[in-house]
């Protein structure tokens, strides 16, 4: 039997990564002969681990927390979307052995919002919470959808203002602190802070979400995040977590590696069934 092409995800912690399951399902569905494993790799071991992986014939890598910025710095060449986000989640070995770095996170989010959930972003007043790496990765793809309004709010207001100033070349965007949101309402609120990881809730006013609006947490877990619960409690039409984005960014990486686009819905359904919770109300 021919040897299977090897792929992997590196990160720390990595034990609970859903990526091996996602790529296994993609491979079965598209009949691609590949294996995909998860490996615990810390920042300190990143470079030697990546070099060893490709030296042994690995074809492509995903990098997750805390390695995305290191992967961006490591890649021999990068795509425009990776440059804008200053982060790389997908490495691909080229025919000339150079390593190309791309970032499929932003496009994964947009596909989940617009295709899977049928949201018209052009008509939406959008609020993004947070101004760290996760936020940077989604700003350009969202602005390219020409939203009706885009506001970026962060605990440390200066970081939101700085990011807004950097990305205003792509469209209208305002940066502010949480307190400045008083009196404003949004159709879509995206949580890009790391507060969910600590199950912490942000100080959001009760009338921040338009009645029937959508909440979306970039984070995900085996139970609803604090922000997803906030959305449910504040009458969101849908209160979603980042599982759909996770599968969509993986599908885009799979396409970059294999030139085959897998169907994502059956995989999202399988993962939701496995955690016994569908992030939708
Ligand atoms: P990531 O790469 O996941 O975005 P990061 O760069 O460390 O991580 O950024 C974390 C983001 O979550 C920041 O916007 C941070 O706000 P500050 O810039 O003020 O630090 C935000 N964040 C984390 N915990 C938070 C909390 N409990 N309340 C509000 N914001 C929080």
**What would the pLDDT profile of 244-265 be if each residue is shown by its tens digit?**
999 999 999 999 999 999 999 9
pLDDT band of 271, cuts 50, 70, 90: very high
**Structure confidence by residue, pLDDT tens digits, 161-194:** 999 999 999 999 999 999 999 999 999 999 999 9
Which alpha helices (H) appear in the chain, and where do they start and end?
19-30, 46-55, 68-74, 80-85, 105-111, 133-144, 157-167, 226-233, 243-258, 265-275
Please report the pLDDT score of residue 197 as a whole number: 83
Beta strand 90-93 with 99-102: parallel, antiparallel or unpaired? antiparallel
Question: pLDDT tens, 135-156?
Answer: 999 999 999 999 999 999 999 9
CA 233 distance to own-chain centroid: 24
For residue range 234-244, list pLDDT tens digits in order.
999 999 999 99
Q: Ligand 1: does its nearest atom lie under 6 Å from the Cβ of 202?
A: yes
pLDDT band (50, 70, 90) for residue 279: low
Distances, alpha carbon 168 to alpha carbons 79, 112, 271, in Å: 20, 24, 37
Q: How confident is the model at residue 1 (pLDDT cuts 50, 70, 90)?
A: low
Asked if 145 and 173 count as a contact pair (C-beta separation under 8 A), the reply is no
Structure tokens at 198: 């600590």
- In percent, the amount of the chain with pLDDT more than 70 equals 98
Q: What share of the chain is helix, strand, coil (3-state, %, to 5)?
A: 45, 20, 35
149 and 131 Cβ atoms separated by less than 8 Å: no
Q: Ligand 1 centre and the CA of 134: distance in Å?
A: 9
- Ligand 1 atom with the smallest distance to the CA of 192 is 4
Which tokens in the block code for residue 230? 């906030």
Query: With the C-alpha atoms ordered 258, 259, 264, 266, is the resulting torsion angle positive or negative?
Result: negative
CA 255 to ligand 1 center in whole angstroms:
31
Q: Is the pLDDT of residue 281 over 70?
A: no
pTM for this entry:
0.96
Task: Look at strands 238-240 and 99-102 and give their pairing.
Answer: unpaired
Which residue's CA is minimally distant from atom 8 of ligand 1?
Answer: 132
- What is residue 156's predicted lDDT score, i.e. its pLDDT? 98
Q: Residue 249: name the closest of 125, 119, 68, 59 by CA.
A: 68
C-alpha 6/C-alpha 34 separation (Å) is: 6
Backbone angles phi, psi at 150, to 5 degrees: -135, 120
Q: What is the mean pLDDT of residues 50-74?
A: 97
Average pLDDT, rounded, for the chain: 96
Q: Whose CA is nearest to atom 12 of ligand 1?
A: 193
Quote the ligand 1 centre to 129 CA distance (angstroms): 9
Using a pLDDT cut of 90, give the percent of the chain over it. 94
Contacts of 176 (CB under 8 A, 6+ apart): 151, 152, 153, 157, 160, 161
pLDDT tens-digit profile of 18-56?
A: 999 999 999 999 999 999 999 999 999 999 999 999 999
The whole-number pLDDT of residue 215 equals: 98
In degrees and rounded to multiples of 5, residue 134 shows phi and psi of -65, -35
Residue 10: band (very low, low, confident or very high) from pLDDT cuts 50, 70, 90? very high
Active site residues: 68
Q: With cut-offs at 50, 70 and 90, classify the pLDDT of residue 160.
A: very high
Q: Which atom of ligand 1 is nearest to the CA of 133?
A: 2
* Residues paired with 102 in a beta bridge: 90
Band (199; pLDDT cuts 50, 70, 90): confident
Token reading at 63: 């990098």
pLDDT-derived band at 3 (thresholds 50, 70, 90) equals confident
Checking if the pLDDT of 278 tops 80, the result is: no
With 90 as the cut, is the pLDDT of residue 2 above it?
Answer: no
- In order of their start, the domains of the chain are 5-103 (3.40.50.10860), 106-243 (3.40.50.720)
């Amino acid at each position: 039997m021919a040897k299977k092409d090897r792929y992997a995800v590196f990160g720390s912690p990595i034990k609970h990564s859903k990526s091996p399951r996602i790529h296994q399902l993609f491979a079965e569905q598209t009949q691609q002969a590949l294996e995909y494993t998860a490996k615990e790799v810390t920042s300190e071991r990143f470079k030697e681990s990546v070099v060893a992986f490709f030296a042994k014939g690995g074809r492509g890598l995903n990098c997750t927390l805390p390695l995305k910025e290191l992967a961006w710095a490591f890649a021999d060449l990068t795509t425009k979307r990776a440059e804008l986000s200053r982060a790389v989640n997908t490495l691909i070995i080229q025919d000339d052995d150079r390593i190309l770095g791309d970032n499929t996170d932003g496009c994964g989010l947009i596909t989940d919002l617009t295709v899977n959930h049928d949201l018209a972003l052009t008509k939406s007043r959008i609020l993004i919470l947070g101004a760290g790496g996760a936020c940077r990765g989604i700003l350009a793809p969202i602005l390219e959808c020409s939203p009706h309004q885009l506001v970026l709010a962060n605990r440390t207001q200066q970081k939101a203002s700085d990011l807004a100033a950097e990305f205003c070349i792509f469209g209208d965007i305002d940066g502010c602190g949480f307190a400045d949101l008083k009196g404003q309402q949004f159709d879509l609120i995206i949580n890009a802070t790391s507060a969910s990881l600590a199950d912490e809730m942000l100080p959001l006013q009760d009338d921040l979400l338009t009645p029937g609006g959508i909440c979306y947490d970039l984070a995900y877990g085996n139970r609803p995040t604090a922000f997803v619960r906030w959305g449910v409690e504040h009458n969101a039409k849908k209160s979603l977590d980042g599982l759909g984005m996770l599968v969509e960014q993986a599908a885009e990486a799979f396409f970059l590696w294999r030139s085959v686009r897998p169907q994502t819905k059956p995989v999202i359904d399988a993962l939701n069934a496995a955690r016994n919770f569908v992030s939708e109300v």
